[in-house]
């Protein structure tokens, strides 16, 4: 099945736009204190890696 390149590019652009929206919301949550971040070391410890 061949999908036109324009359709793929449009779909990828939509995904990129959505990723940007999610990233902006997550950053806003961190800045507002509604969410926290972990360093890679903290994540490894939490996962026993």
Ranges of each domain in the chain? 25-49
Give the per-residue pLDDT at 1: 83
How is residue 39 annotated by DSSP? -
Give the per-residue pLDDT at 23: 98
How is residue 10 annotated by DSSP? H
Give the per-residue pLDDT at 18: 98
For 25, the token pair is 């919301």
Q: How far is CA 12 from CA 4, 9, 15, 16, 28, in A?
A: 13, 5, 5, 6, 24
Give the per-residue pLDDT at 37: 95
């Amino acid at each position: 099945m061949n999908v036109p390149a324009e359709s793929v590019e449009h779909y990828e652009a939509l995904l990129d736009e959505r990723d940007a929206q999610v990233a902006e919301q997550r950053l806003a949550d961190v800045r507002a204190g509604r969410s926290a971040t972990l360093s890679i070391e903290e994540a490894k410890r939490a996962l026993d890696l």
